[in-house]
A = this chain, B = another copy of it.
Amino acid sequence: MYVLALSQVPASIIDGLRKQGFNVVQVVWKRFPDGEFYLRIPKDEISASEIFIVTTMYPEQSERFVELYLALDALRGIGVKAKSIAILYLAYARQDKRFLPGEPISIAALLRPLTLYAVNELVVVDIHAYETIASEVKELNIRNILPHSYLAKSVGIKVDFVLAPDKGALHRAKSVAEEYNVGYDYLEKFRDRISGEIRISEKELDVRGKHVVVVDDIVSTGGTLAKAIEALYKAGASKVYAIVTHALLVGNAIKKLEDVGIDMLITANTIIHSEVPSWLRVVDISPLVAEALRRS
């Protein structure tokens, strides 16, 4: 099967998919001096009427959506159908509700045009919230890869307890806890919708002397994760690991996590990591992506 890899797909994913037997073709791309994005599909490298697309929506999230739609139009031009699209990191997925009146459901707005290209299979890695897209863009059949247990096992850590930094991540904690047959809990997180400030409630956590794993989908500026790690050390945890699918680590996230004494952050290669501190372990999840594509 052919896979069209868009511009920001990590080389490790491309290598991994090739090892899994996929014929990976990479788009030719550039940015014009004024900032417009350009791509071209090397038509001669494709001899099939259907293709999988693999992309990731970071960095330059808005440009990545533009890139995806340019790729779909280019495929239309050469008469090749996009059978399924794997989006390793799906950006804009946190704006999945109208939290305030007058807001968009951003992720619905940005995925809705897929229906214009008869794309109805989407593979995503640890989508922030599944339900919105399913209800807002009904034509899409979404296959969600939850990689936390795979990430934990790839690195081989000891797990005594699993913590979700907020209720939204509870299903992630549960999946890891069940795999290791240990307890799990979550913290109450409050986010001020206007200022963006995060506060977590005081909570009794039975973690004294334990190896605790914090699981989440995205670490962006690191604020939520740092607060969770702080709370765990305060409650007597002996080691705190984090397993976060998408480690964007923007701004001073790395310093913030080092300041609270993070032991290890395990993440997936869903984006290109330009800086990899010693405590960041990037695990190749191409076997999971390959499996999901084969089933789609």
A residues sitting closer than 8 Å to B (CB atoms) are 28, 32-43, 58-63, 65-66, 69-74, 77-78, 91-92, 94-95, 98, 100-106, 108-110, 112-113, 115-116, 220-221, 248, 250-251
With contacts A38-B95, A77-B98 taken as known, whether A71 is within 8 angstroms of B104 at the C-beta atoms is yes
Other A-B pairs beyond A39-B104, A66-B110, 9, CB < 8 Å: A33-B221, A35-B58, A35-B59, A36-B91, A36-B95, A37-B62, A65-B65, A69-B113, A70-B109
Shortest CB distance A57–B (Å): 9
Task: Please determine whether A60 and B40 come into contact, CB atoms closer than 8 angstroms.
Answer: no
**B72 and A109 contacting across the interface, CB-CB below 8 Å:** yes
> For the complex, what is the distance from the CA of A39 to the CA of B77, rounded to whole Å?
33
Is A100's CB under 8 angstroms from B62's CB?
no
Copies in the complex: 2
* A66 and B69 contact, Cβ closer than 8 Å, known pairs A78-B102, A92-B36, A104-B74: no
CB contact between A104 and one of B32, B77, B110 (< 8 Å): that residue: B77
Which chain B residue shows the least CB distance to A27? B102
Known: A74-B103, A101-B43, A103-B40. A220 touches B33 (CB 8 A): yes
Contact A250/B73 with A42-B102, A101-B78, A116-B116 known, Cβ cut-off 8 Å = no
Known: A78-B102, A102-B74. A33 touches B116 (CB 8 A): no
> Can you name 25 A-B residue pairings with CB atoms under 8 Å?
A32-B220, A33-B221, A33-B250, A34-B91, A34-B221, A34-B248, A35-B59, A36-B61, A36-B92, A36-B95, A38-B95, A38-B106, A41-B103, A62-B63, A66-B92, A66-B110, A69-B109, A69-B113, A72-B109, A73-B109, A73-B112, A74-B102, A77-B102, A78-B102, A115-B116
Q: Chain B's nearest CB lies how many Å from the CB of A222?
A: 10
**Considering the complex of A and B, which 4 residue pairs feature the smallest CB-CB distances, nearest first?**
A73-B109, A73-B104, A113-B113, A62-B63
A106 surroundings in chain B (CB, below 8 A)? 36, 38, 70, 73
Query: Chain B residue with minimal CB distance to A64?
Result: B62
Question: In the complex the two chains form, what is the Cα distance from A161 to B85 in whole Å?
Answer: 54
Q: Which residues of B contact A116 (CB under 8 A)?
A: 112-113, 115-116
Nearest CB of chain B from residue A135's CB, rounded to whole Å: 14
Asked if A103 and B91 sit within 8 Å, CB to CB, the answer is no
Q: Separation in Å of the A40 CB from the closest CB of chain B?
A: 5
Contacts of A77 in B (CB 8 A): 98, 101-105
